[in-house]
Structure 1
Amino acid sequence: MTKYQSRKKAILLLADGTTFYGKAVGREGSAFGEVCFNTGMTGYQEIFTDPSYYGQLMIATNAHIGNYGANKDEIESDSIKISGLIVKNFSYEFSRDLADSSLQDFLEKNNLLAISDVDTRALVSYVRDNGAMNAVISTEIDDIDNLKKQLAAVPDMNGLELASKVSTKEPYFVGNPEATYKISALDIGIKKNILRNLSERDAYIKVFPYNSSFAEISEWGPDGYFLSNGPGDPEPLTEAIATAKEILKNDLPLFGICLGHQVIALANGIGTYKMHNGHRGINHPVKNLVTSKGEITSQNHGFAINREETEKNENVEITHVHLNDNTVAGIRIKNKNCFSVQYHPEASPGPNDSVYLFDQFIENIKNAKITS
């Protein structure tokens, strides 16, 4: 009997009691988190290692996962950040010359529990209708009552601060020390490709822990400031919000992505809310209201900023909107050198329609240096 044939049975139990059955991949045991789905057809390794997914059980909507293996260069952080993985067909074999290992080996190395042979079309339809909720993947299928008790104790994502779980503990540098521009980046869940995009634009970046003060991130004399993506609810990030307020008060160049975008909104008195399902995928349509051009974007967020409050704020301009549901996808602070977007211009995975935003940030820094 092969390893594939002898795999243990596993269960996916949702908080409302709904159950799906499958087979275990990787380790045995249980994994808890908020269940969500990503509609991307490629880039699974980057998704699994994106800090923004911390604490979530990921449903892959692509029917085949693992067929191109894993590559050590296709990661967005130092480890897998999802809590567990849910797939239809898991490919133990891979056919790609650039792969370093199978996805199975990658999951086992990172001690991740996955479940396959799940009817993911039915599961995603159910989550779409009923909204994101906590769930558990487990091989302990003979003790459902105990799983329900453990699941009931898992905190809800609404109000949950997770940036501290994924942020760097100590500051570190990225890029060329002789670069023209110096940028302080607040790490509330930063992706590696964001740092690559900044360093490729002649910037030297110092990355700071999530709770760093304005005094701490400004001490080395940066030319601009960046607030990263990240997981969880933005409202508990009181220290990051306070730092953003100080940057805005001093009218310094500031750019925010995803969670950083939400922090900037909160710093301007605009509230945020937990979405029914959120946006997760690499084909989300966004309209740039400044240029009237459309962009296909990579997105990963379960919270959004309040559109009504944004429209009422005289100091804030909506620059981008999501064309599927008209949620706010980008803002600019009218009287400050600051803008932000809800989506991921660095993609990884995804299209490159929005990389111009990094050029815009560098241009803002350049102009600020000229006028200072």
Structure 2
Amino acid sequence: MKYQKRQKAIILLADGTIFYGKAVGNKQGTAFGEVCFNTGMTGYQEIFTDPSYFGQIMVTTNAHIGNYGTNAEEIESDSVKIAGLVVKNFSYEFSRDAADSSLEEFLDKNNLLAISDVDTRALVSYIRDNGAMNAVISTEVDNIEGLKQQLAEVPNMEGLELASKVSTKEPYYFGNENATYKIAALDIGIKKNILRNLAKRDCYIKVFPYNSKFEELEAFNPDGYFLSNGPGDPEPLVEAQEVAKEIIKRNLPLFGICLGHQVIALANGVSTYKMHNGHRGINHPVKNMVTGKGEVTSQNHGFAVDREETEAHPDIEITHVHLNDNTVAGIAMKSKNVFSVQYHPEASPGPHDSSYLFDQFIKNIKNK
């Protein structure tokens, strides 16, 4: 495979800019999505299966992708969620004892189009300057005008509801049914490692579809409630916001991560906005405003909570701040048992500086 002549490929951005590369393996075709980049040096398999990336074309900034293969256990959902992949050097060979297949085999199994030999440094620099935008990757290098027409019809991420595309269709359970605590989790794009972290802390979790009503979650008689991460714009998630409002009104223990954090803000009347190019990587610096300590965090989001509105809200305090751009990275309600963070304390991949937040959730449940 790797020695044969590979097909030419392109990535075409919504503003007409083109970067050239080659198709990975024998795969041909076309894929559309919002182009974004992740600065993580490792964890590509977890990134590709993270539901928060649904509908996005992923550009990896590490120069080599695929060199340690894939492992069936290192997934965050049941399938690849990115729309397409762009890399500099694609490694067809892998060298890791724990790997059970190559990345090429993994992508083929999930029918994902990937292109390599792209100048990803130039591409990422361009995205940083011009913002995240829709794009298409394709082996149809002689059909530029046709691709432009198709790309123009792809909806923008702003205003796009995607939780329904990745959420479970039916409720399911995770963990030991005899655990001390019961958690009702609203799945708007949940990662498996969040469930693992809760189960590790003696929790039995029932995971509910994105459009479930509060009464359905309440019927499980949980000790605490959880709103997950997920893809797309939080504003259209009216049903999830209503669930959050009911939990808040009853002063029940509530923890939100990423998209769940944004939903909690919206439930409190604080607006969200689409960022220029978002935060996606595993070394983002955050300051805990309560303890004064710094945390290195894993992040993946293209929307954020409005800081001015958060500061003006009488019942919300900012608990964490992103040190690169001073965006809101965490909030807590002053009079309610509610808190949330914009980043990923389950960190898969990434550092574990913030795993204490799961312990804080359990402590909040104990003290309710």
d(CA) in 2 for partners of 1:109, 1:47: 16
CA distance, structure 2, for counterparts of residue 301 and residue 148 of structure 1: 26
User: In structure 2, what residue type is equivalent to 1:8?
Assistant: Q
Q: Does 1:251 find its partner at 2:251?
A: yes
Match of 1:7, SS? coil
User: How many residues in Structure 1 have an aligned counterpart in Structure 2?
Assistant: 367
2:128 is equivalent to residue 132 of structure 1: no
Corresponding position of 2:283: 283
Q: How many Å separate the matches in 1 of 2:264 and 2:5?
A: 51
Q: Residue 5 in 1 paired to residue 4 in 2?
A: yes
* 1:304, distance to aligned residue in structure 2 (A): 0.1
**1:142 positional shift:** 1.1
Structure 2 letter corresponding to 1:12: I
Is 1:48 equivalent to 2:53 in the alignment? no
Tell me the equivalent position of 1:197.
197
The structural deviation recorded for 1:187 is 0.1
Deviation, 1:271, is 0.1
RMSD: 0.6
Over residues 31-81 of structure 1, what are the superposed CA-to-partner deviations in whole Å (9 max), with x where a residue is unaligned? 000000000000000000000000000000000000000000100000000
Q: Which letter maps to 1:88?
A: K
Cα offsets for 1:119-146 (capped at 9, x unmatched): 0000000000000000000011111111
**d(CA) in 2 for partners of 1:44 and 1:120?**
15
Partner of 1:150: 150
Q: Counterparts in 2 of 1:280-359, with a 5 A limit? A: 280-359=280-359
What amino acid sits opposite 2:294 in the alignment?
Answer: G
Asked if 1:82 is matched to 2:82, the reply is yes
Q: Secondary structure at the match of 1:364?
A: helix
Q: How does 1:52-71 map to 2 (within 5 A)?
A: 52-71=52-71
State the distance in 2 between where 1:350 and 1:296 align.
9
Find the counterpart in structure 2 of residue 171 from structure 1. 171
What SS is found at the alignment partner of 1:207? strand
Q: Which runs of 5+ in 1 are unaligned?
A: none
Post-superposition, which runs of at least 4 consecutive aligned residues in structure 1 deviate over 2 A? 2-5
Secondary structure of the corresponding residue to residue 365 of structure 1: helix
- Residue 236 of structure 2 corresponds to which residue in structure 1? 236
TM-score, reference length from structure 2: 0.99
CA distance in 2, matches of 1:38, 1:60: 5
Distance (Å, rounded) in 1 between the aligned partners of 2:153 and 2:252: 43
Shift of 1:5: 3.2
Task: Give the C-alpha shift of residue 178 in structure 1.
Answer: 0.3
Shift in Å, 1:241 = 0.2
Partners of 1:177 and 1:120 in 2: CA distance: 47
Q: Deviations over 1:184-227 (max 9, x none)?
A: 00000000000000000000000000010100111110010000
Distance 1:168 1:175 in 2: 17
- Consecutive unaligned residues of structure 2, counting only runs of 5 or more, are none
The alpha-carbon deviation at position 6 of structure 1 amounts to 1.7
